[in-house]
Structure 1
């Protein structure tokens, strides 16, 4: 009886331990998933807020919001193109590193633009004074990011065209080989057998 009771207690302890382990593991998985998705959700919310401000806040504040939005859009598009191409083209790895350096510059500039955007009405003159310089920096960063993206796209297009040209050449060679075939032994011996039979008939006559 005591052995049965001990076995039952051990079984309950094992089940409880497995349940606790599964619960802890599930909690960690949920926390990791939330940690991964939270920045994406926050970024989307910020982008939507910027789009709204470009439409609802005319003048300099709207211009600042548009600069921030354009800068984010340009860098995000460039990163997506480079990451997609780097998996098959190692040459794009260096371009991706340059994109990361541009992103650091963009983060610093975005912080400055955000602070200016939050200036009270009494600081509007300062905003107007600083805006041309910040707009120039934003344009330079955006142009650099666009150049990387366009170069990567041109490279991918050129590679595809080269592959298509080579594939077309191979197809033409194979098609030409298929159109020229040697007669089979049976086909080659048929005329010879006919000639032999004809001579035999002539001798009989």
Structure 2
């Protein structure tokens, strides 16, 4: 009895532990989902504000907003391409490592541009714009090089796979169309089955020759049908007719 209680207590503890584990895991997954949604919403709001300043505030502020928007758009597109291609192509791991190093410079430049947006001295910002524009172009050009190289690599692999698949399909389609085979040929180049199918002068004729030809025909769909003997057709005996289980037996006639 004590053993039963111990087993039940152990099962209860296991169930509680499993429930706690599942709950913690679900909370973590939900938290990651919420954080991802919040970060995406924050990026959307910030990008919308940058577009508004780009077109609504010409001059230094609009130039800074344009640089930030160009930088963020290029880096985000490259990150998405490398993230989706890395699980399928292990060779992109080196490109992803290079992009992480490039991202550090990109975040540093974006933070600097964001800080300069609140700078009241517009003249100093205008003097820094050529250098900021050059740094932005270098980072975005490097990001675009990685992005288009990864896209070209994926497209090349897709084209090679499609070509190989097309060749295999063509071979299989040709094999499926070979539903007949060539007849075997003898030493003189003639089909080996012609001699068996051609009746000899003193050999069998009529039905016997046809049966022999059918038996030796490699293209036949089945064994030759048996031909009926050349005897006169006689009427069958009605009393010898076969009986079937679904037929009713005739009632016996009354003798009275």
Deviation at 1:60, TM superposition (A): 1.6
Deviation at 1:33, TM superposition (A): 3.5
Deviation at 1:61, TM superposition (A): 0.9
Could you give the per-residue CA deviations for residues 139-164 of structure 1, whole angstroms, max 9, x where no partner exists?
00000000000001111111111111
Alignment partner, residue 195 of structure 1: 198
Task: Tell me the number of residue pairs that the alignment of Structure 1 and Structure 2 aligns.
Answer: 182
Deviation at 1:167, TM superposition (A): 1.4
Aligned equivalent of 2:143, options 139, 142, 145: 145
Output the CA distance in 2 between the equivalents of 1:115 and 1:32.
29
- Map 1:1-205 → 2, pairs under 5 A: 31-120=31-120, 123-180=121-178, 181-182=180-181, 194-195=197-198, 199-201=203-205
Give the alignment's TM-score, normalised by structure 1.
0.75
Deviation at 1:30, TM superposition (A): 5.0
Instruction: Work out which of the two has the higher radius of gyration on C-alpha atoms and give 1 or 2.
Output: 2
Determine which structure has the larger helix proportion and give its number: 1
Residue ranges of structure 2 left out of the alignment (5+ in a row): 1-15, 184-190, 209-256
Secondary structure of the corresponding residue to residue 90 of structure 1: coil
Give the alignment's TM-score, normalised by structure 2.
0.61
**CA RMSD for the aligned pairs?**
3.2
Deviation at 1:32, TM superposition (A): 4.3
- Shifted more, 191-200 versus 48-57: the winner is 191-200
Distance 1:90 1:28, change over 3 A: closer
